[in-house]
Amino acid sequence: MKIFELDREYEFNLLPPTVSIDFVRLKFIKLLNMFDFSTDHDSDEIKFKKKIKFYGDKRFGLLSFLQDGTVKIYSEGYNLKILWKVRLEKLYFLTILYDLIVVLFAWHFFDFQVLSLILIAICGFALIWFIGTTEIIYKINEINAICLDE
| 10-residue averages of pLDDT along the chain (150 residues) | 85 73 87 86 85 61 72 85 91 90 87 86 92 90 83
Tell me the domain boundaries of the chain. Answer: 5-148
Q: How far apart are the first and last CA of the chain?
A: 34
The pLDDT value recorded for residue 74 is 87
Q: Which CATH number fits domain 5-148: 1.20.1530, 3.30.310, 3.60.21, 2.30.31?
A: 3.30.310
Burial class (CB in 10 A: 0-12, 13-18, 19+), 2: exposed
The pLDDT value recorded for residue 125 is 92
Contact between 139 and 10 (Cβ < 8 Å): no
